[in-house]
Amino acid sequence: MRTTNLLLLPLVLLLSCFNAVQVGPVTIPLDQPPAMPSMSFHALSATDIHGELVKMDRYKGKKVIVVNTASECGYTPQYQQLQELYTLYKDKGLVILGFPCNDFGGQEPGSEAEIETFCQKNYGVTFPLMAKVDVKGEGQHALYHWLTNKSENGVMDATVKWNFHKFLIDEEGRLVKSVGSGVEPADEAIMGWVEGT
């Protein structure tokens, strides 16, 4: 009996070797770029100028322009064109989100209430205004982190260099374009996108 068990042992060991998982060489196709981790703009949220949480998924199916604003900037008159654009296209699915920001030259020193009053009194702003945010640095708002990092948005890295930088987001929540401060809202670079041309 003991001799039989000893004879079976090598056979059992031999057969168990065939159960091992064998991995061959792995190839990665070079004609396909690696998938970038990304999420939709619609997964984000921010606080509005009245302190209410706004989930960006409320803008599904709409084109969105995100712009960092300031009340004491040379570009501040762009509020007027932004409002005109919003008035003209809001019923056709355009949303403009203004994010007051004091990151550049301290040009947005006021409180949320002061900012809202300034915008309504001077430019008749009715598009949604958000709470003041940091668009760069350690305190960068999560929404701006998404806008400026390809690893988040899956499209591009971008740098906000001054007030009134614009980001264009399509109906599916995908970042489409980053537009510098000097480009006015009525410029063809923005109007063409809004009108779908």
Q: What CATH number did the domain enclosing 61 receive? A: 3.40.30.10
Q: In this structure, is residue 171 part of a structural domain?
A: yes
Q: In this structure, is residue 34 part of a structural domain?
A: no
Which ranges of the chain would DSSP assign to H, the alpha helix? 2-17, 78-89, 112-123, 142-148, 150-153, 188-195
- From the candidates 17, 73, 101, 119, give the one annotated as an active-site residue: 73
Q: In this structure, is residue 48 part of a structural domain?
A: yes
Q: In this structure, is residue 130 part of a structural domain?
A: yes
Which residues touch 47 (CB under 8 Å, ≥6 apart)?
53, 54, 130, 131
Number of helices and strands in the chain (H, E): 6, 6
Q: pLDDT tens across 65-124, in order?
A: 999 999 999 999 999 999 999 999 999 999 999 999 999 999 999 999 999 999 999 999
Q: In this structure, is residue 23 part of a structural domain?
A: no
**pLDDT at residue 185, rounded to an integer:** 97
**pLDDT at residue 20, rounded to an integer:** 42
Helices 188-195, 78-89: crossing angle, 10 deg rounding? 10
**pLDDT at residue 8, rounded to an integer:** 52
How far is 153 from 38, CA to CA, in rounded Å?
5
Ranges 23-37, 47-61, 88-102, 103-117: which has the least confidence: 23-37
Question: Does the annotation mark 101 as catalytic?
Answer: no
Looking at every residue in the chain, the average pLDDT score rounds to 87
Token duo for residue 36: 């970038």
| AA letter at 107 | Q
Q: What average pLDDT does this structure show over 17-22?
A: 43
Domain around 168: 41-195
Q: In this structure, is residue 66 part of a structural domain?
A: yes
How far is 119 from 108, CA to CA, in rounded Å?
12
In terms of Cα–Cα distance, which of 42, 84, 37 is closest to 63?
Answer: 42
Q: Which helix (H) or strand (E) holds 95?
A: strand 94-100
pTM of the model: 0.81
Split into its structural domains, the chain has a count of 1
